[in-house]
Amino acid sequence: MAVPLNAFLIVGALIFSIGVFGVLIRRNILIVFISIELMLQGVNLTLGAFSTFLEDMGGNVLVLMSLTVAAAEAAVGLAILVALSRTWRVFNIDRFNRLRW
C-alpha cells in the first residue's frame, strides 16, 4: 500500500512550521541554525514528494543538490559558530551586536 501524497505534504509542512517556530521564538544561535536546517528539510521532503507523485526525476535531482548545499552550509555555519564561541562565549542572538559594522 502506497503512502498518499497528502501525508508527505502534511509532514513536510509540520517540519517547516517547527523550523519557523524555532527561528521566531528562540534566541540561541545554535537552535536557530538547527531550525533553519529543519525548514530546508521540510521543503526538500515536499519537493521530493511532488517529484515522485508526478514521476519526474528532475525534482529528485534538485533535492539531492539541495541536500549537498545544505551539508556544505552546515559545515561552514558550525565552523563560524565554533570560532565565535571561542571568542565571545555568547550564544544569544541579541548579544551579537559586535558583528555589525
Q: What is the pLDDT of residues 25-78, one digit of tens each?
A: 988 888 888 999 999 999 999 999 999 999 999 999 999 999 999 999 899 988
Distance CA 59, CA 7 (A): 18
Average pLDDT over residues 14-33: 92
DSSP-derived letter for residue 44 is H
pLDDT surpassing 80 at residue 12 = yes
User: What DSSP string describes 11-30?
Assistant: HHHHHHHHHHHHHHH--BHH
Cell 538547527 belongs to 34
Which overall architecture, per CATH, does domain 7-94 show? Orthogonal Bundle (1.10)
Q: What is the pLDDT of residues 70-95, one digit of tens each?
A: 999 899 988 988 887 787 777 777 77
**Phi–psi pair at 68, nearest 5 degrees:** -65, -45
Q: Which residue has the higher pLDDT, 29 or 100?
A: 29
Cell 521540510 belongs to 42
